[in-house]
């Protein structure tokens, strides 16, 4: 949707294309909007400097403050499951590095993202501004409350593990809207796709996963 500057001579372009082919296409990701966005967004810009060479590898990578950017396949799986379209308004909880926020900014019309760690939110905001994402807004705070003033959302993506579906987030989903989130104990979760049908959650269980905890009043309580 917005233009990102992929600098000419980007040294990671070969690794990025390889990631898209071998980690995503070959494992069954087929949503062209997701594949295009992941071919375009320079993932190496979003990881901590000393981990840059690992940015396109098949595992999560450190982004600072003890947090991680998810494995590329998991990011793709979550975005594909949401079946996003260009007119969607999306809420993301757990901005982290801003990588997934950039992907959402490529695919959707408007993106709101909440991060509880101010330093991460500021770094992500600066990067996203540098890449020209004018359709993305970042807020600092406990994202388990969502962003009621911008609701309802067509889609919500939660990038941190939660013991249960935060009720405020479900409430802020429009009728027919989709939410994806890792649900379970802190060591191990399953990805759940939640659709709001006649005001009720319809849950589809996808694969198992492991995320850092969602810490907040409707998530985990300990830091
Ligand atoms: N999608 C991110 C990865 C995020 S890691 C990326 O592409 O880089 C999970 C993030 O959720 C961490 O940055 C963590 O600080 C944040 N987080 C944890 N609890 C939160 C809460 N209650 N509200 C908002 N952000 C939260």
Task: Output the six-digit token pair for 114.
Answer: 């909440």
The answer to whether residue 172 is domain-embedded is: yes
Ligand 1: distance of its center to the CA of 195 in Å? 22
Q: What is the pLDDT along the chain (223 residues), one digit of tens a residue?
A: 444 554 457 889 999 999 999 999 999 999 999 999 999 999 999 998 899 999 999 999 999 888 999 999 999 999 999 999 999 999 999 999 999 999 999 999 999 999 999 999 999 999 999 999 999 999 999 999 999 999 999 999 999 999 999 999 999 999 999 999 999 999 999 999 999 999 999 999 999 999 999 999 999 996 5
Nearest residue to 69 (alpha-carbon basis) of 41, 96, 29:
96
Burial of 30 (0-12, 13-18, 19+ CB in 10 A): exposed
The reply to whether 222 falls in a domain is no
Give the pLDDT of residue 3: 47
CB 112 within 8 A of CB 212: no
Could you tell me if the CB of 113 is within 6 A of ligand 1? Answer: no
35's enclosing H/E stretch is helix 32-40
In a domain, 77, yes or no: yes
138 Cα to the center of ligand 1, angstroms: 12
**221 inside domain:** no
CB contact at 8 A, 195 and 178: yes
Q: CATH no. for residue 87?
A: 3.40.50.150
53, 70, 87, 208: which one is catalytic? Answer: 70
The maximal CA–CA distance of the chain, rounded, in angstroms, is 51
Looking at residue 2, its pLDDT comes to 47
The reply to whether 4 falls in a domain is no
User: Which residue reads 């993506």 in tokens?
Assistant: 157
The CA angle 36-156-128, to the nearest 5 degrees, is 55
Q: Does the residue 3 lie in any domain?
A: no
CA distance 157 to 81: 10
CA–CA gap between residue 212 and residue 5 (Å, rounded): 30
Asked whether the CA dihedral 173, 174, 179, 185 is positive or negative, the reply is positive
For residue 27, with 0-12 CB atoms within 10 Å meaning exposed, 13-18 middle and 19 or more buried, which class applies? exposed
Q: Which domain holds residue 116?
A: 13-209
| 63 ligand 1 Cβ < 6 A | yes
DSSP 103: H
Phi and psi at 90, nearest 5°, equal -125, 140
Residue 70: active-site member: yes
Count the domains in the chain. 1
């Amino acid at each position: 949707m917005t233009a990102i500057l992929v600098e000419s001579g980007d040294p990671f372009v070969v690794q990025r294309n390889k990631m898209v082919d071998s980690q995503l296409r070959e494992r069954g990701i087929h949503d062209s909007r997701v594949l295009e966005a992941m071919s375009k967004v320079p993932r190496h810009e979003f990881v901590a400097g000393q981990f840059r060479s690992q940015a396109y590898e098949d595992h999560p990578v450190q982004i600072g403050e003890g947090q991680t950017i998810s494995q590329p396949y998991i990011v793709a799986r979550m975005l594909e499951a949401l079946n996003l379209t260009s007119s969607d308004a999306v809420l993301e909880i757990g901005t982290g590095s801003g990588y997934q926020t950039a992907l959402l900014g490529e695919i959707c019309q408007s993106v709101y993202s909440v991060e509880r760690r101010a330093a991460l939110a500021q770094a992500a905001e600066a990067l996203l501004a540098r890449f020209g994402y004018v359709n993305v807004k970042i807020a600092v705070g406990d994202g388990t409350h969502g962003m009621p003033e911008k609701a309802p959302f067509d889609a919500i993506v939660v990038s941190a593990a939660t013991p249960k579906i935060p009720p405020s987030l479900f409430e802020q989903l429009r009728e027919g809207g989709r939410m994806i989130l890792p649900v379970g104990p802190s060591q191990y979760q399953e990805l759940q796709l939640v659709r709001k049908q006649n005001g009720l959650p319809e849950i589809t269980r996808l694969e198992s996963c492991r995320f850092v905890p969602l810490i907040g009043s409707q998530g985990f309580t300990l830091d």
